[in-house]
Structure 1
Amino acid sequence: MQREGDDEAWRSIVENFGERAELDDEPDSSSTASPEPPTGQDPYGWAVAPEPDEPAELAEPTPAYVEDEDTYVPPEPPPLPVPEPDRGIAWAGVVGAPLLLLVSLLFSIGLPSWVGYLMVAWFVGGFCYLVARMPKEPRDPWDDGSRV
């Protein structure tokens, strides 16, 4: 059970909590029209853009893109390197043979068994050839692969 002095203290704290707003004049309740905001502001206090002097149809349109004379034009890229013919055939076997077998399987294209064996041999032979042509010595340990 709280004491009477505690209740009175809490009541005074609640009544005097925070600063009270100072109101200039109370608006008449008979007036139903809301006051007009000052020019250049909306009712919420945000600034409003001024009305244009010219009508929209007379104003000159601004171009969406203005081309600079000093634009950067990158140099032509070098042509794509063409692999050596033997490596190209090996890569075609590693990538192309499984794709051809997958397409023939998806579209239910019947292949003779010797064509299937030839594609499997092309894949295995191309993979073994590419592994055999890999460099034998390790890369430079200080080379992080970036080029300038």
Structure 2
Amino acid sequence: MSTPGDESRTELAWREIVEHYGDRPVLDDDTRPVASPVAPAVGRDAAEDDEHDDGDDEVEAVAAVDRFEPPAPPPFPTPRTWQRGVAWAGIFLAPALALVIGLLSIYVAPLVGWALVAWFVGGFGYLVFVMPRAPRDPWDDGSRI
């Protein structure tokens, strides 16, 4: 069981760790923190705006120049064709159907069995055929984040 004194000691220890975590930069007294341009508060009059505007124009000019411009987005990937869907269905659905037919002892024409085998082999062959021949990047190890 913990006592209330233990919790306060633990809390004080955590606060001390957080306060002393990492190196803190030493700032000169003459440097001013750069604030992001903010719309004037509602209710302030023009006299207050004039008092606080010393140098805000410079901050806005620097902020406008140093704005981040994101790179152009990559093109959309090509949509998957219906042939790939049929091929993947052949990989998974044809063996599942053959298993169900075999387990339930359902009589089907031999042509249906050969069609399931052909669907599986054809789907597998198609997926291997459309596989990329080389990696996208020569140094690509295949991992994606």
TM-score range, shorter chain: 0.3 to 0.5
Name which structure has the greater RCO, CA cutoff 8 Å, separation 6+.
2
Q: Which has the higher helix share?
A: 2
TM-score (norm 2): 0.42
TM-score (norm 1): 0.41
User: Which one has a bigger Cα radius of gyration?
Assistant: 1
